[in-house]
Structure 1
């Protein structure tokens, strides 16, 4: 263990056995301190939308296909002009130092080694530069929590561009923080500074709760902000937090290069729909004009298949990979990616799909049980 400001961080660097991604949560709970674990695992209010994110994947089924004459499914894809070995990507989950002393640095190493896309958060424990360097040139996106202070936005976008990120994910669904009861119960305060904020204020993030962190974030975000970020950064801007076709249209109209369908893992508006339930209608509206990233509730290879068949181009996860990070560092995250890819490839084979394009063309069943 590494101890920082009284907070115990895992420093394990070892391969782990991964039966499935859901099994990692219980094991990680034994390692990550209570406050940190509560922050990572929790949703908002009574976690209703958090729970629906998992249940929604039972609303659609995959047709098994026989006599398809295929073997060795090919999981590779190209999205946003980036060649990837898998459509599975890392969601921009904040403060990964709560799980491991190397935080985002180890996560970036793992995703680079697996040929997968890494997204890092404004509220990362590691700096943009250090996280990018850990990937050794592998593609990464940077997620922006837009600040009320435009000078901060410019400075952090400058750093992201200098680090070589391939796109900016603008989180638009977190203008205020969801009511997260686990953090209140645990009286949770971030024990570790957030590296990207610390450049502007020494110790920034440490000793603050999530509400205090969000207080500096922009509480009004409009289509004009999408245009402004795209023009300033000269990078593709993907708008995250889209849950309706109407908002997808607003984002594309403002010049968004991608749509990110997500309900923030059930951490923001409780009582909203499961992200997967919202995906198909948004994909129909987008109609291939820009790529779609999807997250919230993904835990199985079959979930990845269903999300792609429902209209996604990339499928992101956050919590399970952070649990793997606590359990084994970069090697643990690699093991988790490999297990999910194994499940996904198995599903592709049994569904008679050789390529990602064929997965996207698959029709899902809608039987009621």
Structure 2
């Protein structure tokens, strides 16, 4: 255990015995301090949208396919010109030092071990360079919370380009902080500095709540900002936080190289739709012009399958990874990805889909069960 400013960080590094990913939450709650756990687990207001994110996967059902003459399904894929061993990626998630003393460095190592794509947040506990150096041969994206200060934005983008990231994820659905009641109950303030803020901003985030940190972020984001970032970096810009076909088309029109369908894991606009319920319509509008990343509520291999069959090219998640990080460090992260990949392999076999391209063309039936 490492203690920073009175906050107890896990130092574990061990493979995990996992029944399923939802079961990790209760295990992680026992070792992550209350404030940090509340920040990770909590959504906006009464968590209605957060809860619907996972329940919405029941709205589509996978059609079993027998006599398909396949075995050992292949999970490998290529997206944004990047060869990956799995279509499951790490979603950008802030302040991973709340889960483990090595923070994003351990996450990057665990993600690299399974051949997946890592993305790191502006509000990471470790710097862009240090996170990349932890897994130097593995692909990473950098997620930008755009600041009002373009000197700050450019400094982060310069650092990301220098580190060799493969793309920029621009988050556009968090111009203000959602009303996060867990943080209010715990009077939560970040006990650990945020490395990128420490290096490039006036403050390091320590001792502040997420609302105070968001106050320095841009409250106005437009198509011009997408163009500006794409022109400045010459990297693919993936616009994150899209939940309507109209916004997807606006982003593509502004030069987005990818669409990221997400409602921020239910942490921003409570009362909005489950992200999965918006995916098919967005994919239909995008019509393969650019790749689509999907997250929010993913907990099972069957969820990954349904998202891919509904139009996603990559499927991301974060909370279960952060629980695995706390419970087992880099090896725990690896265990989480191996579990969801194992479940996906089983579903692919039973659905008669030999590879990810076949999953994307797999039929789903749709029926809304009472939740």
Q: TM-score, normalised by structure 1?
A: 0.99
1:340 aligned counterpart, secondary structure: helix
Residue matched to 1:344: 344
Instruction: Describe the SS at the equivalent of 1:199.
Output: helix
Q: Give, in angstroms, the shift of residue 135 of structure 1.
A: 1.2
- 1:368 Cα deviation (Å)? 4.4
Partner residue of 2:126?
126
Counterpart of 2:171? 171
Shift, 1:366, TM fit = 1.1
Q: CA deviation at 1:16?
A: 1.2
Q: Specify the SS of the correspondent of 2:143.
A: strand
Equivalent position SS for 1:45? coil
8 Å contact from structure 2 (residues 152, 201) kept in 1: no
Map of 1:252 onto structure 2? 252
Instruction: Tell whether 2:367 aligns with 1:367.
Output: yes
Q: How does 1:326-341 map to 2 (within 5 A)?
A: 326-341=326-341
Give the 5 Å matches for 1:219-298.
Answer: 219-298=219-298
Q: 1:73 — aligned with what? A: 73
Q: Does the Cα contact within 8 Å between 2:2 and 2:9 map onto a contact in 1? A: yes
Q: Cα 1:143–1:65, aligned 2, differ >3 Å: closer, same or farther?
A: same
Distance of 2:110 and 2:68 partners within structure 1: 33
Distance 2:50 2:114 in 1: 28
For residue 21 of structure 2, give the secondary structure of its aligned residue in structure 1. coil
Report the equivalent of 1:58.
58
Distance across 1 between alignment mates of 2:169 and 2:248: 14
* Kept in 1: contact 2:155–2:200 (CA 8 A): no
Question: What is residue 214 of structure 2 aligned with on the other side?
Answer: 214
Structure 2: how far apart are the matches of 1:55 and 1:360? 21
Q: 1:368 and 1:160, CA in 2 relative to 1: closer, same or farther beyond 3 A?
A: closer
Aligned residues: 369
Counterparts of 2:13 and 2:329 in 1: how far apart (Å)? 5
Over 2 Å off, 4+ runs:
200-203
**1:259-307 per-position Cα deviation (integer Å, ceiling 9, x unaligned):** 0000000000000000000000000000000000000000000000000
Q: Residue in 2 aligned with 1:320?
A: 320
Shift of 1:201: 4.2
SS at match of 1:22: helix
Q: Is the 8 A contact 2:58 2:368 kept in 1?
A: no
Question: What residue ranges of structure 2 are gaps of 5+ in the alignment?
Answer: none
Tell me, in whole angstroms, the C-alpha distance in 1 between the residues paired with 2:201 and 2:192. Answer: 14
Partner of 1:196: 196
Residue 38, structure 1, aligned to residue 38, structure 2: yes
For residues 141 and 313 of structure 2, what CA distance do their matches in structure 1 show?
15
Q: What residue in structure 2 maps to residue 183 of structure 1?
A: 183
Mapped contact 1:31–1:326 kept (Cα < 8 A): yes
Bigger drift between 260-269 and 10-19 goes to: 10-19
Q: Is contact 1:128–1:160 with CA below 8 Å preserved after alignment?
A: yes
CA–CA separation in structure 2 for the residues paired with 1:200 and 1:72: 48
5+ unaligned residues in a row in structure 1: which ranges? none
1:11-22 pair list within 5 angstroms: 11-22=11-22
1:300 counterpart = 2:300? yes
The normalised TM-score by structure 2 is 0.99
User: Does structure 2 retain, via aligned residues, the 8 Å contact 1:112–1:136?
Assistant: no
For residues 283 and 201 of structure 1, the distance between their equivalents in structure 2, rounded to whole angstroms, comes to 37
More displaced stretch, 339-348 vs 201-210: 201-210
Deviation string 1:59-107 (CA, Å, 9 cap, x unpaired) is 0000110000000000000000000000000000100000000000000
When the two chains are superposed, the root-mean-square deviation of aligned CA atoms in Å is: 0.7
Moved more, 130-139 or 77-86: 130-139
Any idea what SS the aligned residue of 2:331 has? Answer: helix
Is 272-281 or 9-18 further displaced after alignment? 9-18
| Aligned-partner Cα distance in 2 for 1:325–1:171 | 24
Aligned 8 A contact 1:157 1:233 in 2: yes
Matched residue SS, 2:169:
strand
- Secondary structure (helix, strand or coil) at the match of 1:299 reads coil
**Is structure 2 residue 155 aligned with structure 1 residue 155?**
yes
Q: Which residue of 1 aligns with 2:140?
A: 140
